[in-house]
Amino acid sequence: MTHRFTRLRRFRFNRPQRIAAVLLALFLAQGLWLTSRQTLSDRDYEYARCGRETWEKPSPLAGYYTSCGNIHDGIAAYRAAGLPLTLNLMLERGLDRFRKPEDRIVQEAGPVSTWELRHQLTHVLLLLRLPFLLAGCLLGGGLWWVTRRLYGNLGGYTALALYCFSPSILKACVQPSPEIFAALGVYAAVYTCIGVAHAMQGPRKRWRPRIVLLMVALGLAAAAHIAALPVAALLGLALMLWVAEGRRSQVLPVVLVATIGALLLVFACYGFSPDAFSYIFRSSAGFLGFSAEPARRYFLSLPNAGIAVATAAAALLYLGLPRTRYFGNTAPLLCALGMISLVMTGAPGTPSLWAVPFLLTFIGGAFADAYESPRSRLALGAGATLVGLQAAFCLLSLPGLLQ
């Protein structure tokens, strides 16, 4: 017990953590602002209705998992969208027991449709988006933890600041979609694979918790979008083979065990329904292709101008400074290049969004090396200017904020 309390006391909320918290608070504020300017759409009703059905089971159509049919791309976004509404409805029904009949929020005794909930529950639109905003904050926290651990405080601040003012990330966090959960799962899975590979150099007792964590990360990626599972598993496998010198024969079994565990988690997310679970393998949701169009569209978008210029500068630093060409910078660069060229050919999806955290990790690493060069002041000024440029373009793109 003393050892556990000792580990808890290691956490400190010092200046680096406070700066990261402020940046994430700015990110959350932008998401809440965008949410306040939105109205409920048909997509919202679809995710809310079918998401509630995954929790409440209110008589779905015979032969289908929900009234939306069998969900073939990923169930995580539906469950995330429906959970706050289900919990809020349960809470209001519980409180209605202490209210007068004429003051009750939920007047109907039986199932209440999502259409009716818009009148009976407050803040339905915010409740729908809150899980996705929290996932975006969690991804930003994970990005900062990885980059700070690899590159120090300044590299972590650079990557996190660019993330918090990334319009594509913000857009994914203020609409029900699987993209932000898939991005979180893929990023967590790839860097957990690297962590497992490093742990394999030590005693076996250190492997187990990391392998369990890898199962959870791959499970999140697969539950968000089934195409994210092979992407995360293959990239993680390649990087593990790179890192695990002397243990490469054990890498493939570890990844296979983690992948099987991830599929079991997805099976549980489908309520252990064999038909609904098997449908994701009978559909074409996992089909992927390659194209340069997503990269062209991302880097030529005006709201991404700061990130585009920072990417070009980081690429020049990577090619011009030998000290930047090491595993910590090369791994996220290869992951970003691989994912930003992917396109969905079966189900709707945006794999290029999954590449953004890796791209920002690479930028943070390259600039961190420049910050430690003889021209550190020039590099710090350039980094601050690019972050300011990206923040300005991002804020200008927010509807009604600066217009």
d(CA 341, CA 211): 29
pLDDT tens string 258-307:
999 999 999 999 888 888 888 887 777 778 888 889 999 999 999 999 99
Provide mean pLDDT across the span 317-326: 90
Per-residue DSSP letter, 323: G
Provide mean pLDDT across the span 13-36: 93
pLDDT value of position 246: 81
Residue 123 corresponds to which amino acid? H
Determine if the pTM surpasses 0.75: yes
Q: Is the pLDDT of residue 129 over 90?
A: yes
Reported as a pLDDT band with limits 50, 70 and 90, residue 254 is very high
Q: Please report, for the chain, the start and end positions of each structural domain, with discontinuous segments joined by +.
A: 16-38+127-397, 42-126
Label residue 138 exposed, middle or buried (CB < 10 Å: 0-12, 13-18, 19+): middle
Residue ranges of alpha helices (H) inside 283-375 are 293-299, 305-320, 327-340, 351-371
**Counting every residue, how long is the chain?**
403
Reported as a pLDDT band with limits 50, 70 and 90, residue 122 is low
pLDDT value of position 296: 93
What is the C-alpha radius of gyration for the chain, rounded to an integer number of angstroms? 22
Reported as a pLDDT band with limits 50, 70 and 90, residue 5 is very low
Distances (CA, A) of 70 to 55, 61, 75, 170, 270: 15, 10, 10, 28, 10
d(CA 290, CA 344): 9
Percent of the chain exceeding pLDDT 70 equals 90
Range name among 103-117, 203-217, 357-371 with the lowest pLDDT average? 103-117
pLDDT value of position 113: 65
215 in Cβ contact with 114 (< 8 Å): no
Longest dimension (CA), the chain: 74
pLDDT value of position 112: 67
pLDDT value of position 74: 86
390 in Cβ contact with 300 (< 8 Å): no
Q: Helix, strand, or coil here: 246?
A: coil
**DSSP letter string, 252-288:** HHHHHHHHHHHHHHHHHHTTT-HHHHHHHHHSSTT-E
CA proximity to 34, closest of 399, 302, 403, 402: 399
Kindly report the backbone phi and psi dihedral angles of residue 5, in degrees, each rounded to the nearest multiple of 5, phi listed first.
-65, -35
Q: What is the mean pLDDT of the chain?
A: 87
Provide mean pLDDT across the span 120-139: 88
Provide mean pLDDT across the span 305-319: 95
Q: Which two tokens stand for residue 347?
A: 């189900």
Per-residue DSSP letter, 342: E
Distance of CA 302 to the CA centre of its chain: 23
Q: Is the pLDDT of residue 8 over 60?
A: no
Q: Of residues 252 and 97, which shows the higher confidence score?
A: 252
Range name among 58-67, 72-81, 211-220, 222-231 with the lowest pLDDT average? 58-67
pLDDT value of position 274: 84
d(CA 193, CA 181): 18
Reported as a pLDDT band with limits 50, 70 and 90, residue 1 is very low
pLDDT value of position 110: 60
Q: Is the pLDDT of residue 101 over 60?
A: yes
Reported as a pLDDT band with limits 50, 70 and 90, residue 40 is confident
236 in Cβ contact with 286 (< 8 Å): no
